[in-house]
Structure 1
Amino acid sequence: MHRFQLAASALALALSAQPARADDAATAKAIEADYDSSLAALFLDFHQHPELGFRETRTAGIMAAELRKAGLEVTEGVGGTGVVGILRNGSGPTILIRADMDGLPVEEKSGLGYASKARQVDSDGREYPTMHACGHDTHITAMVATARRLVSIRRQWSGTLMFVVQPAEERVAGARAMLADGLYQRFGKPDYALAFHVAANLETGKVSASEGTQWSGTVGVDIRVPGIATHGASPELGRDPIYIASQIVTALQSIDSREISPLKPVVVTVGSMHAGTRGNIIPDEARLQLTVRANDEETMAATLAAIRRIAAGIGKAHGLPDDLPVDVTIGAGVPVTANDPVLARRLNTAMARALGEGVVVPFVQQNMGAEDFTYFVAPETGVPGYYFVVGGTTPERLAAAKAGGPAIAGHHSPLFQVAPKESITLGARAMVAAVLELAGKK
């Protein structure tokens, strides 16, 4: 631990000692002016009109129009609603720049004057309130800012930029859909892939990226608990799946505390539980939906095996017959998102030099979020990836929360909010700095 702290301190000192470059000062000024003149309105439009995964037709249309206006070759309908914009500028590396665009089925309760009141029918035929509860509206707005700036300074770099507007990140399905639709075959395999995410738990004006694990791997698990239906007044005549499911939910929390090493992070969350129709009827089934998170394949495999064992064992312990076993279905899952160490070290250093003292800070994984960006940079692709986070909450709000004021809402919360101008402008500046490092003319 002491050695890690010394390394982190040395990194922080090395990063903070870098003066900002003159060309970034010009970029910062240009992007902030762009935000005030048009990007702010674009962000508000995106925020007030969020769309669910694979249903982002309006958002995709606006992004396609904005990238065309910036001078890019644009293709729509890639992997469903995905958009690809190509900017060719002579010989050099091909760099993929990705931004996700989908919202969530969450009713916004942030109290913001521009809060979303939108609703949308999802693929299940049900209508939901919708909200950008994860900041994807800032990502796509920053992409427009990045494209405009790189077009305006094209004399400073050489190569091909592939702007990927990705659908359905929240379903961890959009990246695979675009790849299955021939993204790399149709537009060229990139030499590098870049992306960023706004972070509510990091203060504005800060950028951070790991030189290894950036996001956790995740697997969805469905558990069907059968029962024997009966009258609620005569539970002894049946087998209560709600009670059995409740025991399973509780027992699953022992996996982290008693079966996995404390040095190996893992999360088992039951996010959905459905059963029954009336208070006086014991139903014939209960259904659970889980998300499981881990930072390595061994821990994930052990956790999934424990879920199967615990669920089956509790079913038997409560008298379910052999022909009515608890059924556990393991989903496909998403691998760990890991930055290429060499690329991350290079771009962290370049960003520190470009963005100025104290902007780039050492990365500390603060949650076990997962990302489907990992598919763009999976080992079999041979594409090195770099994913960074940009601070989204002002120091004043963070200080107020620390002093006992309103807590900072996490991602996917109906209370979620970030500072849009600070997040968008710094995200775009950082992305421009990364591109100039990889494709800039020396």
Structure 2
Amino acid sequence: MSPLKQSPSGSTISNLVKNHPLDLGEYEDQYKHFHSNPELSLQEKETSSTIASHKSLSAYKVQTSIGGYGVVGVLTNGDGPTILLRADMDALPVKEKTGLDYASEVTVKDEEGGTVPVMHACGHDMHVACLLGAAAWLASEDVRKKWAGTLVVLFQPNEERGKGARAMVEDGLYDKIPEPDVVLAQHVMPMRAGKVAVKAGTMIASADSFKITVYGRGGHGSMPQLCIDPVVLAANIVIRLQGIVAREVDPQETAVVTVGSLHAGQSDNIISDEAVLLVDVRTQKEETRQRVLKAIKRIVEKITDIHQECEASNCEKPPTFERTRQFPLTVNDSDVTQKVSAAFANHFGDTFDPAPPTANASEDMSDLATAIKKPYCYWLIGGIDGEKWDKAEKEGRIAEDIPVNHSALFAPVIEPTLKTGIETLCVAALAYLAGQQDS
């Protein structure tokens, strides 16, 4: 493995980017294509195919079908470090309401066989377009003369379920490509377009999701005395779970416990046999995470008052827990972040934020790095139209007027989001890829 070499100075990197502009028209069209043709997690076949055959990767050794529909391209350009740039590419089961002329009208069958709408409501289409643009720019003849090393571009499936990065690793990713010295990635967020933000330490939260089933004894709604009503048990669980953050988590720490779904029965006059709760947990420290998860299990298993109520109701079957998703904490390496931040500050100036708050969103990109004990850095870019953002900020209506990720109204403004996203990837990569230092 090649040692990390001295990278060009921040001003040299910025000059290189400014003096060799990329024609963005093609990537704007490509973004619209991906936005109009989203695919759910584990179904990214056409997205993967489009990426793998795109001319932006013509200089790369491309491999497909890694961990599902994962795609990687490797470009070796002399002796130097190996840098991995990653983008995710799956969409969500959301009905788009943006009104854009390239809005998604796609519907597909989900894993349960139901028909669901599909939308790129989290910006992964923008991530793919940005990485294709960055791959093309870094591989261009004039730019390749200015750096040396190995560049890996990785397009990851199944991020929304928190399993895609791990699946690629477990499918032998690092037997197929050189191990990177550094892993880099980004995400478009509800911030002013053109803004870039990163900090060392915890950048975004961990997430743990569960399907919890509590059991009762069904029967006629007119005869509750002969039944065990799981809706009552589930309702008590929901109320008790809300006390975890309020009474068991240090007020200086951050945690969120959400019951996103509670389902039982199909009729108003039938008491169901069971109730199913879908629970999501977000935390920003591992200690807090463990405390919250233990508290949920304790409450649901009736170690608290719910235990007594359930026993009093003669429950005959214990609750079951099924983990549905798990995202690790994303903790940026301090040395990598310092290097990337210096390059961003030099290139982006006042639009660079070196101290953003930790986000409660979650990611699995760190699995690409921690699986091989390598450092990583993950940053955020803004995607909200500047005039819209400024108006909402002035009127104190950001929460009301600015759509967030996973909203049916979320769609990054194409420019300057695309240009910013391409430049962040290029600037960050060049902060490590040693080469000639003249621009």
Give TM-score scaled by structure 2 length. 0.91
- Give the aligned partner of residue 230 of structure 2: 241
Separation in 1 of the partners of 2:358 and 2:101? 29
Deviation at 1:334, TM superposition (A): 2.4
Q: 1:382 aligns with which of 373, 383, 395?
A: 373
Q: Does the 8 A contact of 1:18 with 1:352 survive in 2?
A: no
After superposition, the CA RMSD in angstroms is: 1.9
**Whole-Å separation in 1 of the counterparts to 2:415 and 2:343:** 23
Q: Residue deviations 1:167-201, cap 9 Å, x none? A: 0000111101100111112112101111010011x
Are the equivalent residues in 2 in contact too, given 1:390–1:426 (CA < 8 A)? yes
List aligned pairs for 1:22-33, cutoff 5 A: 22-27=15-20, 30-31=21-22
SS at match of 2:349: coil
Checking the alignment, whether the CA contact within 8 Å between 1:20 and 1:356 is kept in structure 2 is no
Q: Does the residue aligned with 1:253 lie in a helix, a strand or coil? A: helix
1:8 is aligned to none
TM-aligned CA deviation for residue 326 of structure 1: 2.6
Tell me if the contact between 1:225 and 1:327 (Cα under 8 Å) persists in the aligned partners. Answer: yes
Work out whether 1:272 is the aligned partner of 2:265: no
Tell me which residue corresponds to 2:352: 360
Match of 1:3 in 2: none
Partner of 1:182: 172
Greater mean deviation of Cα atoms: 66-75 or 148-157 = 66-75
What is the distance in 2 between the residues matched to 1:357 and 1:330? 43
Alignment of 1:102-181 (within 5 A): 102-152=90-140, 153-181=143-171
Q: Deviations over 1:192-216 (max 9, x none)?
A: 111010011x111111112111111
Instruction: Provide Cα deviations, 1:339-387, integer angstroms capped at 9, x if missing partner.
Output: 110110111001211x242121123235311101010121x52211011
- How far is 1:228 from its partner? 1.2
Provide the C-alpha distance between the structure 2 equivalents of 1:264 and 1:423, rounded to a whole number of angstroms.
32
- Asked if structure 1 preserves the Cα contact closer than 8 Å seen for 2:203 and 2:330, the reply is yes
Q: Would the alpha carbon gap of residues 296 and 20 (structure 1) be closer, same or farther in structure 2, given more than 3 Å must change? A: same
1:391 maps to which residue?
382
Per-residue CA deviations over 1:365-417 (Å, capped at 9, x if unaligned) read: 35311101010121x52211011111111231112223266611111111112
Pick closer, same or farther for the CA change 1:359–1:119 going to 2, 3 Å: same
* Residues 13 and 427 in structure 2, CA contact (< 8 A), matched pair in contact too: no
Size of the aligned set, in residue pairs, is 418
Q: Does residue 77 of the first structure (1) align with residue 69 of the second (2)?
A: no
Equivalence for 1:335:
328
Where 1:141 maps in the other structure, the secondary structure is: helix
Which stretch shows the higher mean deviation, 129-138 or 382-391?
382-391
Q: Give the whole-Å Cα distance in 1 for the aligned partners of 2:105 and 2:326.
A: 32
Which runs of 5 or more structure 1 residues have no equivalent in the other structure?
1-16
Judge conservation of contact 2:221–2:269 (CA < 8 Å) in 1.
Answer: yes
Encode CA deviations 1:99-147: one digit per residue, 9 max, x unaligned.
Answer: 0000001111122222111012223322210000000000000011101
SS of corresponding position for 2:343: helix
Please say if residues 19 and 356 of structure 1, whose CA atoms lie closer than 8 Å, have aligned partners that are also in contact: no
Unaligned runs of 5+ in 2: 1-9
Match among 284, 294, 312 for residue 283 of structure 2: 294
1:257 and 1:404 map into 2 onto residues whose CA distance is 27
Contact 2:259–2:277 (Cα < 8 Å) also in 1? yes
8 Å CA contact retained: 1:315, 1:325: no
Aligned amino acid, residue 22 of structure 1? N
Equivalent residue number for residue 93 of structure 1: 81
Find the residue that maps to 1:269 and give its secondary structure: strand
Cα distance, 1:20 vs structure 2: 8.6
Instruction: Work out whether residues 71 and 156 of structure 2, in 8 Å CA contact, stay in contact via their aligned partners in 1.
Output: yes
For 1:432, the equivalent position in structure 2 comes to: 426
AA matched with 2:403: A
CA distance in 1 between partners of 2:144 and 2:91 (Å) = 32
Match of 1:372 in 2: 364
Q: Distance in 2 between matches of 1:328 and 1:295?
A: 23
Q: CA deviation at 1:67?
A: 5.1
* Residues 1:425 and 1:68: Cα distance change in structure 2 (over 3 Å): closer
1:198 is aligned with what amino acid? V
1:351 to 320, 326, 344: 344
Work out the percentage of aligned pairs sharing the same amino acid: 37
Given that 1:95 and 1:162 are in contact with CA atoms closer than 8 Å, whether structure 2 keeps it comes out as yes
Give matches, 1:298-313, under 5 Å.
Answer: 298-313=287-302
Tell me if structure 1 keeps the 8 A contact 2:13–2:430.
no
Report the counterpart of residue 12 of structure 1 in structure 2. none
What is the CA distance between 1:323 and its match in structure 2? Answer: 2.8
Task: Check whether the contact 2:341–2:354 (CA below 8 A) recurs between aligned residues.
Answer: no
AA in 1 matched with 2:256: V
Q: Is the contact between residue 328 and residue 366 of structure 2 (CA under 8 Å) also seen in structure 1? A: yes
Aligned to 2:5: none
TM-score, normalisation: structure 1: 0.90
